[in-house]
C-alpha cells in the first residue's frame, strides 16, 4: 500500500531542495530531466528527482517546452511507481512534492553498469531480476529501456532494482490496438534486455530454458524506431548538445 509522508517531512524536503545545501541533503547527479539528491530525514533515506523548471526571467520557447515535458514525465513516473507498489525490486515511492519533484526510497548500492564485472552470485541475481521483470509485466507495466544498464540497480545485498520509469507503458484490459500491441513489444524488449545482460551479448550461449524469453530482430527494430522518435519529440538531442 502506498505510504504518504508526514507533512513535517514533506516540508523539510521542500526546504532542503530550495536551499540545495545542508547536512541532510547531498547532490548526486544531473540528467536530462533534472537533478537527483539524497535526503536523510528522521527514519527516511530518500532519493529526490528534482525537475527542470523554466526560469521566467530567461524565457525561451524551447526552455519552456522542456520544462513542461520534464514535469509531465515525472508525473507519469510517479503514477507508474504507484502501480508497482509492493513489488520486491521496485523502490518505494512517496509521491510528489508541492513542486512536482519525485520522492523515492534511496537504495544503497550501485548501477549494474558499474558492478557487472564483479557481481556476486550471478545466477541468483539474474533469477531475481527475471522475477522482478515478470512481476512488473503482471502488474501491467513494461519498462522499455532496460538495455540501458544504469536503469538496473544492484543493492548492497545483491538485490536487483528497476528504476527510471519515465517512458514506461501501462496496459489495461480495455486497451485496444495499437497500445496493447506496443505494450507487448516493450514487454519483449524487457526480456531481451535480461538475456543481453545475463549472457553479456553471447547469444550462442543461451540455454534452452532461457531461450523461451528471447525474441530478437523485429521487436528490436521497432523499439529502436520508437525510441528515436521519442528522443526527437522530447528534445533529448537538443538538451544533450546544450549540456555538452
Q: Each residue of 170-203: pLDDT tens digit?
A: 999 898 888 898 899 999 999 999 999 999 999 9
Q: Is the pLDDT of residue 238 over 60?
A: no
Q: What is the pLDDT of residue 51?
A: 80
Q: What is the pLDDT of residue 222?
A: 65
- What is the band of 144 on the pLDDT scale with cuts at 50, 70, 90? very high
**From CA 24, how far away is CA 124, in angstroms rounded?**
35
- What is the band of 1 on the pLDDT scale with cuts at 50, 70, 90? low
What domains are there in the chain, each with its CATH number?
7-105 (3.30.200.20), 109-243 (1.10.510.10)
Using alpha carbons, list the distances in angstroms from residue 107 to 26, 82, 110, 119, 193: 14, 17, 8, 17, 22
Which of 82, 80, 70, 77 lies closest to 35, judged by CA?
70
Q: Each residue of 104-136: pLDDT tens digit?
A: 999 999 999 999 999 999 999 999 999 999 999
Asked if 119 contacts 155 with a C-beta cutoff of 8 angstroms, the reply is no
Q: Each residue of 17-72: pLDDT tens digit?
A: 887 777 799 999 887 667 899 999 988 999 999 886 655 545 567 666 777 777 88
**From CA 52, how far away is CA 54, in angstroms rounded?**
7
C-alpha cell of residue 239: 538538451
Least confident of 45-49, 77-81, 97-101: 97-101
**From CA 212, how far away is CA 75, in angstroms rounded?**
35
- What is the band of 244 on the pLDDT scale with cuts at 50, 70, 90? very low
Give the largest CA-CA distance in the chain: 60
Q: What is the pLDDT of residue 243?
A: 46
Q: What is the pLDDT of residue 112?
A: 98
Contacts of 187 (CB under 8 A, 6+ apart): 137, 142
**From CA 152, how far away is CA 145, in angstroms rounded?**
10
**From CA 242, how far away is CA 130, in angstroms rounded?**
37
Q: What is the pLDDT of residue 59?
A: 56
Amino acid at each position: 500500500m502506498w505510504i504518504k509522508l508526514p507533512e513535517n517531512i514533506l516540508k523539510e524536503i521542500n526546504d532542503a531542495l530550495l536551499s540545495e545545501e545542508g547536512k541532510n541533503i547531498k547532490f548526486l547527479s544531473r540528467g536530462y530531466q533534472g537533478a537527483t539528491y539524497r535526503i536523510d530525514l528522521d527514519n527516511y533515506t530518500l532519493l529526490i528527482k528534482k525537475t527542470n523548471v523554466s526560469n521566467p526571467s530567461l524565457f525561451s520557447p524551447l526552455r519552456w517546452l522542456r520544462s513542461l515535458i520534464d514535469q509531465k514525465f515525472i508525473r507519469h513516473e510517479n503514477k507508474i511507481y504507484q502501480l508497482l507498489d509492493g513489488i520486491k525490486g521496485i523502490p518505494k515511492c512517496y509521491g510528489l512534492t508541492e513542486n512536482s519533484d519525485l520522492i523515492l526510497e534511496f537504495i544503497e548500492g550501485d548501477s549494474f553498469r558499474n558492478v557487472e564485472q564483479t557481481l556476486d552470485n550471478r545466477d541468483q541475481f539474474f533469477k531475481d531480476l527475471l522475477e522482478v521483470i515478470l512481476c512488473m509485466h503482471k502488474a501491467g507495466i513494461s519498462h522499455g529501456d532496460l538495455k540501458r544498464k544504469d536503469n538496473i540497480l544492484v543493492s548492497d545485498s545483491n538485490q536487483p532494482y528497476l528504476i527510471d520509469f519515465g517512458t514506461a507503458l501501462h496496459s489495461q484490459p480495455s486497451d485496444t490496438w495499437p497500445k496493447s500491441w506496443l505494450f507487448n513489444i516493450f514487454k519483449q524488449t524487457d526480456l531481451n534486455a535480461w538475456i543481453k545482460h545475463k549472457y553479456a551479448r553471447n547469444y550462442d550461449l543461451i540455454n534452452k530454458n532461457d531461450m523461451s524469453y528471447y525474441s530478437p530482430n523485429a521487436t528490436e527494430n521497432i523499439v529502436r524506431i520508437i525510441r528515436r522518435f521519442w528522443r526527437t519529440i522530447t528534445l533529448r538531442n537538443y538538451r544533450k548538445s546544450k549540456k555538452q
